[in-house]
Structure 1
Amino acid sequence: MSNPSTTSPIPVIEANGAFIPQIGLGTWELQGEVLAGAVEAALAAGYRHFDTAKRYENEADLGAALRASGVARDEMFITTKVWRDDLAEETFLRNAEASVERIGMGPADLLLVHWPSPDRPMAEVIGALCKAQKEGFTRHIGVSNFPPHLLREAISLADAPLSANQCEYHPRLDQTELLELCRREGIAFTAYAPIGSGGLLDDPELIALAAEKGRTPAQIVLRWHLQQGVVAIPRSRNPERIAQNIAIMDFELTEADMARLGAMARPDGRRFGLDWVDWDG
């Protein structure tokens, strides 16, 4: 997607040259016919942003479903990622090229370092990321699961602008510092697990707010992301829920509503990458 789409109901934000639809379809653990059905439902609902990764083992399935849809390539935004075991420069570039070949739709719109690794110097990792862009495997580059101290280091080492940092984010996890850093640097903050896990949608406070607004709890949380300027990539295989997740443009949360959701953050809110990353720097 080289410019804002006219077919999607969701706003598109600009992040260091990348135009990213604020709601996308996460595809982790979706494969084969299940993924094809989810993609079909998503496209029909107006999604144009699709998130995959080598680690998900579904890049080829996603590409096949998107190609079969008949939707023009330049209306889509496709993100993929290089896994943390593949960050040596030669391996990184080989994996980036293989991802593009599996998807089969030309360069990715956004290529991310999936997780940082203590086994590779950051200069080598970011150098390989930038080289992947120069070699035409992706239009834009970014990182994933980078806390503030590592994101600052990545920015300082990159010879091209980073367009995104994809991290866990939902009302139970305070990401204020990282959000503010991304905004200052013109980087999109992309939230995975945006509607949480571990029972967030069953939280009585969230259910009460959803009832007040006549919406589903997931719609309330996704609207909370949207109003912060965050990109969210909820995963679902259910066509009805896929459609509901993007039907969030006809209502707004008040400042008080936003504060109620923000107040749900708690110290044990993080659920992913607890043993892999020094989140506190």
Structure 2
Amino acid sequence: MTAPAPSRVVRTAPVITVDGAGIHFRRNRRASRNFKDLFAGRQRRRRPVDEFWALRDVSFTVQPGEAIGVVGRNGQGKSTLLKLVAQVILPDEGRITVDAGVAPLIEITGGFVGDLTVRENVFLTAGLHGMSRAEIQQGFDEIIAFAEIGDFVDTPYKHLSSGMKVRIAFAVIARLEEPVILVDEVLAVGDKAFREKCYRRIEELLAGGRTLFFVSHNAKDLRRFCSRGLYLDKGSLVLDDTIDAALERYETDYPSA
């Protein structure tokens, strides 16, 4: 009898690799001299430099199609981690490799120009994210319809309410075909109906095989989208486990959070 051939395990390469990543910031600026000090040749007393590590020695990998919730208190490095993955900022130590395009829903209205109209901002922002003019024109009506601001399409962006700005920004970013989606509490200012509409869109993207990083303090939302959780505390990755385990550990450590 011939022995069966060993089964082959198909492994995919990680779409994101974070290896010993860390980044530090300075709380206090160095004291500068004013004109009077310069004229008198005086040096101001320098305050001691106060630096802190927002993240330190963080390592994990992400496979294509995973949905990951990032858990922790305010100021523990969650948003910083997303910015590192988005390569908006670079680590001071370690290495971060992202082998796919990223659609960042981080500080979602950043990059929009106040004096430009909504229409002009759609073309500008989508173009900066790699969409061709023809692709933007083809999807423009759908973007405006999703945002529900058709009457304001030729209004300067600076005259929109904060909620309307979020609507148009999400509609543009969610239209991108990037494989990795980064979401950082950006829908908190949206009304309930529109927020649910955005969440359904995120679910559609996940069903299509996208990879999700989702930062939120809402346990219900985290459990809705995510199967895996990263728990950050004091800039360190405390736990990398299921989303339920990450939330339970966080709630145990900070029961009043």
TM-score, normalised via structure 1 length? 0.34
More strand by share: 2
TM-score, normalised via structure 2 length? 0.37
Q: Which has the higher contact order (CA 8 A, sep 6+)?
A: 2
More helix by share: 1
